[in-house]
Amino acid sequence: MHDPLTSDLQAELIRTAHALADAARPETLKHFRTGILSDDKGPGPGGRFDPVTEADRAAERAMRDLLAQLRPDDAILGEEYGRKAGTTGLTWVLDPIDGTRGYISGTPTWGVLISVADDAGPIFGIIDQPYIGERFEGGFGRALVTGPRGAAPLRVGRDRPLSEATILTTFPEIGTAAEYSAFRRVADRARLVRYGMDCYGYALVAAGQVDLVIEAGLQPYDVQAPIAVVTAAGGIATDWEGRPAHEGGRLLAAVSPAIHAAAMELLAGIS
């Protein structure tokens, strides 16, 4: 178990998270929209192309090198370089480019995901979009976005019925066939469905722009920063059955208990 989270330790973790995001930004930007080549790591969820680039690797290396200086005793879980053991009870969970498919396509909806977690899940997280220059953070009583318009508090939108909701997901063919059918049950009740947002969709929930994100086939490094940011902004982020989702799998992020429950009812019944 980690040391008690004093205000000084919380401030140190926040500073460290921002320093990691600052270190990753130039590594991602130097290759963005340059025609960078990608490798296929093998079938991703649903057997899809799962690319990785030198930008992914370089950004994670930069963050790991900085953690070796700033928090050498903490554990690390990163998408590209796996696990490093630690002794403090705290783990940094890193996704250097969430949305590599979007990154290599030139869309600005990918992001750098950084969170710090204890045994119960993420306690602080950042969703950073380097090209737009937006950074969404949440945890330790903070819920904030900084970007081209300056700094502003993050707060999810008002409660509304599912029939008036906007839903985001990354892939139209979400997850397995059964998961896709469950997603369609929710999507068919909504006012608007949009695709391809990757982690930026969760930032839009936290910013009060959309009502739900529904996804499946996720890894811990895909979900921990989004969970921290959405919950800090007053939203709910669980698996499709209302349980903790920080280990990955299926994730349902919503602006309110009512719309979360309405979506869960329609998502129910798959193994």
pLDDT in tens, 116-140: 999 999 999 999 999 999 999 999 9
Confidence of residue 83 (pLDDT cuts 50, 70, 90): very high
Residue 87's CB is within 10 A of a number of other CB atoms, namely 10
Work out the widest C-alpha separation in the chain, in whole angstroms: 50
Provide, rounded to the nearest whole percent, the portion of the chain with pLDDT above 90. Answer: 89
Which DSSP category does 142 fall into? Answer: E
Average pLDDT score over residue span 82-99: 97
What pLDDT sits at residue 1?
Answer: 45
| Domain residue spans of the chain | 7-153, 162-267
Provide, rounded to the nearest whole percent, the portion of the chain with pLDDT above 70. Answer: 95
Interatomic CA distance for residues 181 and 195, integer angstroms: 16
Q: Side chain identity at 23, as an amino acid letter?
A: A
Mean pLDDT (the chain) is 94
Residue 184 dihedral angles phi and psi, to the nearest 5°: -65, -30
Residue 93 dihedral angles phi and psi, to the nearest 5°: -110, 120
On whether the CB atoms of residues 91 and 78 are closer than 8 A, the answer is: no
Name the least confident of 16-20, 189-193, 266-270: 266-270
- 7-153 and 162-267 have identical folds: no
On whether the CB atoms of residues 121 and 227 are closer than 8 A, the answer is: yes
On the question of pLDDT at 78 being above 50, the answer is: yes
Higher pLDDT: 44 or 118? It is 118
Instruction: Enumerate residues 6+ apart whose C-beta is below 8 A from 258.
Output: 159
Average pLDDT score over residue span 237-253: 97
Name the least confident of 39-43, 100-104, 145-149, 169-173: 39-43
Interatomic CA distance for residues 203 and 47, integer angstroms: 27
DSSP percent split of the chain into helix, strand, coil, nearest 5: 35, 30, 35
For domain 7-153, which CATH number applies: 3.40.190.10, 3.30.540.10, 3.40.50.1450, 1.10.3720.10?
A: 3.30.540.10
Higher pLDDT: 15 or 3? It is 15
On whether the CB atoms of residues 198 and 105 are closer than 8 A, the answer is: no
> Residue 210 in 3-state DSSP?
coil
Rounded to 10 deg, the angle between the 257-267 and 177-187 helix axes is 140
Average pLDDT score over residue span 144-150: 97
CATH 3.40.50.720 fits 162-267, yes or no: no
Q: Which of 191, 199, 182 is nearest to 267 (CA)?
A: 182
What pLDDT sits at residue 202?
Answer: 98
What pLDDT sits at residue 38?
Answer: 82
Confidence of residue 44 (pLDDT cuts 50, 70, 90): low
Average pLDDT score over residue span 205-231: 97
Confidence of residue 45 (pLDDT cuts 50, 70, 90): low
What pLDDT sits at residue 174?
Answer: 84
The pLDDT tens digits for 169-194 are 998 888 899 999 999 999 999 999 99
Q: Note the pTM of the prediction, 2 decimals.
A: 0.94
Confidence of residue 24 (pLDDT cuts 50, 70, 90): very high
Interatomic CA distance for residues 195 and 10, integer angstroms: 35
Interatomic CA distance for residues 114 and 96, integer angstroms: 8
What pLDDT sits at residue 2?
Answer: 47
